[in-house]
Chain A
């Protein structure tokens, strides 16, 4: 790897990971506040992330295996925010529904006492 390619590759890798983070944060914000700007910005960030990935694959002197890792990671980065969000919602909803059942049990005891 040439001297300049070292710097360029390092910077591209950092940008690649940073854009994945921005995609995740904006996607999560889009779920919290259903505003178009968040959703559009999230997909724009992911688009830029893909662009960074393509640049790394086509332009840097990294080995074939590492390029496959970059492509694979991009696909995983794409699904992490929705999967995490769904899991969070599911665990919170489950917890909430169990919490909601508590008063009914209480009232059932009241009914039994009556």
Chain B
């Protein structure tokens, strides 16, 4: 096994750990809605929410990096360039995340000064990490880019997938630089901040997961490189074509010109079109294999990725993307519902699929099969779909009572929060979050014990 693949295993272990932190902090965040006095004076809701959202970003990022470190040496036929730096930075990355989490939990707030920005919290949603940690993330991403590009240069060759990946890493890093400036003009700050958030999630990350899924498809179903690369180009072009200018669908109430709402609404309304193509592609691939594979968990999670992406990003997104609806739905639990479903479908399912592929190789399993993966698959997906359904109901109430009828006043906000449908929605969300958490626990148990509970049927060739 290459050192890069050993590093990938560490990244997957860290990713699954932070997935757990995200799940627990999400569960606790959900409980605050039922009992607002929960942990009163100890940890406020916003800190729990910061931990939930930031660990989401971190575990997905670590999952992406683990996947690339896993596939890269096999793809280019050599050890990853500068692997020593990547190995050292893995520990720095984990330690930095732990320190930031400790600061969030125990320090929580700072003054309105530079020191607070550097050491406590940058105060910008999704990228709250203090500036020193943000600098660390840039260093880690630059080394990651060097690992990929340097390996291709050292190998004196590249593949279509790796070329797309290399091109994608440049905007991925450049966009993160938007996390730094502390622009005092709120409109200008939010304008650029959305570039980071939207263009990471709906552009560069989409390409990244597209590359990872292409590599995984070749390994899982033995699909030829030519087919996978041809589809990667088509799908990336379509997703970027509709996704980039979809940026405008976030520009509500921040002082941007009104034409952005039309541009954003139009392009993001086109987003379900390529996603439908991906679903048809998934059905084709599954049918061509008659759903038979040596790694059913990986196949099922990959299918869940295609379907979850269409429903979460496509259907849930389409509900709120046109400006007339978005005007009221923006920033309500309706959007939260869409966010949960889309992140789950587009990214989380894909990473879990790759994790099972990696386990098959590292545990030397001819066939990956267990009852546990089915339970975790069912509980995680049922929990997630249930949560998004419950959040949708609460979101409807907010859009209806608080926004459309009440006109977004404080009184309307209170009235929305006290509405029985809203409250019931939040209770249902909490109960289904417990189901999701149970699914996570079973997933971890399966991942840890897979191939160790019963002897492997036959050995496969060692990882390349």
Chain A contacts to B: CB under 8 angstroms: 1-4, 6-7, 9-11, 13-14, 16-18, 20-21, 24-25, 27-29, 31-32, 61-63, 66, 69, 73, 76-77, 80-81, 84-85, 87-88, 91-92, 95, 99
Contacts and interface: CB of A to CB of B under 8 A. Distances in A.
Contacts of B273: 73, 76-77, 80
A10 B325 contact: yes
Interface string B389-421: 000000010011001110000000000000000
A17 B284 contact: no
B280 A6 contact: no
B314 interface: yes
B272 A20 contact: yes
Given A32-B283, A85-B284, A17 B400 contact: no
B284 A28 contact: yes
A73 B269 contact: yes
B324 A84 contact: no
A57 to B, nearest CB: 13
Contacts, number: 119
A66 B315 contact: no
Chain A at the B interface: mostly helix, strand, loop or mixed?
A: helix
Contact of B319 (A2, A3, A14): A14
A84 B281 contact: yes
A92 B280 contact: no
B266 interface: yes
B288 interface: yes
B307 to A, nearest CB: 8
A2 B321 CA distance: 17
Chain B at the A interface: mostly helix, strand, loop or mixed?
A: helix
Interface in B246-296: 265-266, 269-270, 272-273, 276-277, 279-281, 283-284, 287-288
Top 10 A-B pairs ranked by shortest CB distance?
Answer: A3-B404, A14-B319, A32-B287, A28-B283, A17-B318, A84-B280, A17-B315, A10-B325, A3-B405, A10-B319
Contacts of A2: 404
A47 B320 CA distance: 23
A51 to B, nearest CB: 17
A76 B276 CA distance: 10
B405 to A, nearest CB: 5
Interface in B196-241: 224, 226-227, 230-231, 234
B311 interface: yes
B280 A81 contact: yes
A88 B265 contact: no
Contact of A6 (B269, B281, B310, B404): B404
Contacts of A87: 234
Contacts of B324: 1, 6, 9, 61-63, 66
